[in-house]
Structure 1
Amino acid sequence: MTTPDWIALDWGTTHLRGWAMSGSGAVLEERGSAKGMGTLSPDQFEPALREMCGDWLDHGPVPMIACGMVGARQGWVEATYSAVPCAPLASQLTQVPGGLDVSIIPGLSQAEPADVMRGEETQIAGFLALNPNWSGVLCLPGSHSKWAHVSAGEVVSFRSFMTGELFAALSAHTVLRHSVQGTDWKEEAFAAAVNETLSRPERLASSLFSIRAADLLHGHGSGVARARLSGLLIGAELAAAKPYWLGQQIGVIGAGDLAELYVRALAAQAAPATQADATAVTLAGLTAAWKQGITS
């Protein structure tokens, strides 16, 4: 049986992850659930959390700090945004009413251009906790990739890109679905596609259709098609985000293949980036919130 001093929660749209934590920030045990925010109505969050925590709560309520979409308008309780420029953990936590002691970290907002983030602010806080006095640009790849300018411990500005969601939609719900199925990958096709849209982003819509045409006419296959689709979209994102990353110190937060694609694409532009593990920085950010004692 694990008896935590507090519980760290990363509650996204599709999954819930929880860690039983000691007061010093050490992980005692990790658990997960497929009951993400997107599958729950407001009255289902507490039962889902109790189900995952199980015996962690045998001795009564334990303080919990949560980040992610659990604090969205359609989540458990809306945690209002903190406006940039500000520290990533700038505001008090939002307390959830009910029988559990749950506090949610607010997201960040930007008035112009209009933008918001939830969950990434905790990863940024964690990255800064692990890399004191760091300044530069952080890239957080995902369904909605983020580029955040960080200076003097504050998020100065940020931009979001629907690159991951566009890839999912195009590969499943357009004519490209006939060409990109499978897991094959051709790195040369990815690199060429990144360069193509970095230099001529206005050709993106036409270049996307050429994926299907090249498959039909030349039999390029799914490995080329899938890599080319990813490269075109990431290249267009890098082109739009160039004012952020050009000439800056860059960190890419994420684990696995997706983050590595961004690192390789940036390296090809003579923009080396340091990769940080998403789970490690998320835990560091949740721990920073705990240690700061941010309470409502």
Structure 2
Amino acid sequence: MSGSSTYADWIAVDWGTSNLRAWAMRGSDAIAEATSDKGMGLLEKSEFESALITLIDPWLGTARTPVFACGMVGARQGWVEAPYTAVPSKPLANRFARPETTDSRIDVHVIPGLKQLENPDVMRGEETQIAGFLAANPNFDGVLCLPGTHTKWAHISAGEVISFRTFMTGELFGLIAKKSVLRHSIANGWNDAAFITAVTDTLSRPETMAAKLFAIRADQLLNATDVGAAKARLSGLLIGAELAGAKPYWLGQNIVLIGDANLSALYATALETQAALSQIADATQSTLAGLNAARILTKEPTS
């Protein structure tokens, strides 16, 4: 933790399944940051407030401090359920879930996620990053890709999320690399050429992906291929299959990637193999800008 004696005007919180991140804010600027492993998945409803206070207590004065939180904190299993908003819609609705608190120093607002009824889909947390990107780019029209455990592709027009689609690519990578027969083949290291070849393989013939996955293991057994090449091939096969499925979103579109810098760079490289150029936006900046946009919404009169 930094800035342990700093009082905040308000506090921004990104509360995921595994981790909790918080920032002490003055206006739109973060002046301190703290992290915790007290993610939603480890907490009972009665434990959320104490987990938050433990993290942010040094930033609290005697006055009531607004807290704006996004992510799985608003899930049904979270602190308080923040019902989804149906698309098409703006990424932030002017309504937030308000958990009851015993500490009079905090006033907590939890941001709702988005849902899609036709071609059922949901998101929590990414809507805040989308709102943050649009706050800085209000005239953007195109597609935002948010790479991660569950990668989102969102069609944006006129300041609204029109539709979106989720791919479990990151989770599949983790499961295959750690739980499948390929766990004996995957290790640290990387090979750019192997990644690009795997991407183009599954983009052109996604139906062969299962066979090509097993070939990673067979190739290493028979030809002692580099473990870095194995990891790159696995990543390329999965991202290539995702791009094949997401083609209606990215083909001919203005594309911006918002996520981990290294993962976003892989997506950019994969898209480039199809002559689809993209830009990368900073994920943390987008999250903070989105939480700030939510704070500003509470100051505006409701219609």
TM-score (norm 2): 0.95
> Is the counterpart of residue 73 in structure 1 residue 79 in structure 2?
no
Question: 1: CA distance between counterparts of 2:239 and 2:110?
Answer: 32
- Given that 2:148 and 2:260 are in contact with CA atoms closer than 8 Å, whether structure 1 keeps it comes out as no
Distance 1:73 1:57 in 2: 28
Matched residue SS, 1:285: helix
3-state SS of 2:65 partner? coil
Aligned to 1:45, which of 26, 48, 55? 48
How big is each residue's C-alpha offset from its partner over 1:226-281, in whole Å with a ceiling of 9 and x where there is no partner? 00000000000000000000000000002321110001111121110010010000
Does residue 86 of structure 1 match 2:89?
Answer: yes
Match of 1:95 in 2: 98
Q: Which residue of 2 aligns with 1:109?
A: 115
Question: Are residues 1:14 and 2:18 paired?
Answer: yes
Aligned to 1:160: 166
Cα shift at 1:221: 2.3
Secondary structure at 1:280 match in 2: helix
Count how many residue pairs are aligned between Structure 1 and Structure 2: 294
2:152 pairs with 1:146: yes
RMSD between superposed Cα atoms in Å: 1.3
**1:176-195 → structure 2 map (5 Å cutoff):** 176-181=182-187, 183-195=188-200
Task: List alignment gaps of at least 5 residues for structure 2.
Answer: none
1:58 CA drift (Å): 3.6
Q: Identity of paired residues, percent?
A: 58
- Could you tell me whether the CA contact under 8 Å between 2:94 and 2:297 is conserved in 1? no
Paired residue secondary structure (1:126): helix
Superposition misfits of 4+ residues, deviation over 4 angstroms: none
* Partner SS state of residue 82, structure 2: coil
1:156-192 per-position Cα deviation (integer Å, ceiling 9, x unaligned): 00000000000000001110000002x1101100000
Q: Deviations over 1:102-132 (max 9, x none)?
A: 1100000001110000000000000111112
| Structure 1 residue 132 corresponds to structure 2 residue 138 | yes
Q: TM-score, normalised by structure 1?
A: 0.97
Distance 2:155 2:263 in 1: 21
CA separation in 2, counterparts of 1:187 and 1:55? 45
Q: Is the 8 A contact 1:147 1:241 kept in 2?
A: yes
- Give me the whole-angstrom Cα distance separating, in 2, the residues matched to 1:153 and 1:277: 19
**Contact residue 3 and residue 20 of structure 1 kept, 8 A:** yes
1:27 alignment partner AA: A
Deviation at residue 60 of structure 1 after TM alignment = 4.1
Q: What is the one-letter code of the residue matched to 2:53? A: R
**126-135 vs 234-243, which moves further:** 126-135
Structure 1, unaligned runs of 5 or more = none
**Could you tell me how far apart the structure 1 residues matched to 2:144 and 2:121 are?**
16
Amino acid at match of 2:95: Q
State the shift of 1:55 in Å: 1.8
Cα deviation per residue 1:29-51 (whole Å; 9 max; x = unaligned)? Answer: 11111111111111111110010
SS of the residue corresponding to residue 178 of structure 2 reads helix
Distance in 2, Cα, partners of 1:35 & 1:262: 30
Matched, 1:34 2:73: no
Q: Is the 8 A contact 1:93 1:294 kept in 2?
A: no
- SS of match in other structure, 2:215: helix
Match of 1:257 among 256, 262, 272: 262
Does structure 2 retain, via aligned residues, the 8 Å contact 1:138–1:253?
yes
Which residue identity lines up with residue 279 of structure 1 in the other structure? T
Q: Provide the rounded CA distance (Å) in 2 between the counterparts of 1:42 and 1:68.
A: 15
